[in-house]
Amino acid sequence: MTVTGLLAFGAAYGAAVASPGPGVAAVVGRVLARGLRGAPAFIGGFLVGDLVWFALAATALHALAQTFAVVFLIIRYAGAAYLLYLGWKLWTAPVASGDAEAAAARAEHPLRPFLGALSLTLGNPKVIFFFLALLPMVVDLGALTVSAALEIAVLIAVILSAVLGGYAMLAAFGRRFITSPRAVRIVNRSSGTMMAGAAVAIAAR
């Protein structure tokens, strides 16, 4: 694939990832409430989900995806339910010390945030719209070679990791200044509200 083509895709994809949406809200909300532990697995779920949708678009299997629309609808609601669960846990969480928060984060298996983010991405209308509607306007999928597809996949991994990782780092930086119990409670409930709002956005589209 030409450098110009890769740059065009990178610009379009980067803008889509960076724009506010359920994924960004989920990452920021999680890191504000729990810190960076578990964030790589969480972001990894978003990455795998995006690569799945890219593979479906690149191999013209999106028609097959439409055939199994009910399955993806179930996945969408599963992702929304996961966000609602996280939001409820944050809203009702007692104000804990830093050591208690760290222990709770360590107790979480990495597979849990990964699968939660994956289900959220597979059912996210914003992601689906980009790969099945916008991507063909930027990339000639009919002429896409295996090597070009691999180049795009690498670009997806780099851009998504950088953008969501940047959001996570900014949230972690802001979290350092949240020290009083009242501030922790406000952040927990704000993060819970963000995740609930993202869940509603996912389920309602």
pLDDT band at 160 (very low <50, low <70, confident <90, very high): very high
Which tokens in the block code for residue 73?
């609808």
Cα 23 from Cα 165, distance rounded (Å): 12
101-127 confidence digits (pLDDT tens)? 555 555 567 788 898 888 888 877 778
- CA-CA distance, 118 to 191, in Å (whole number)? 20
Model confidence pLDDT, tens digit, residues 168-184: 998 888 887 765 666 66
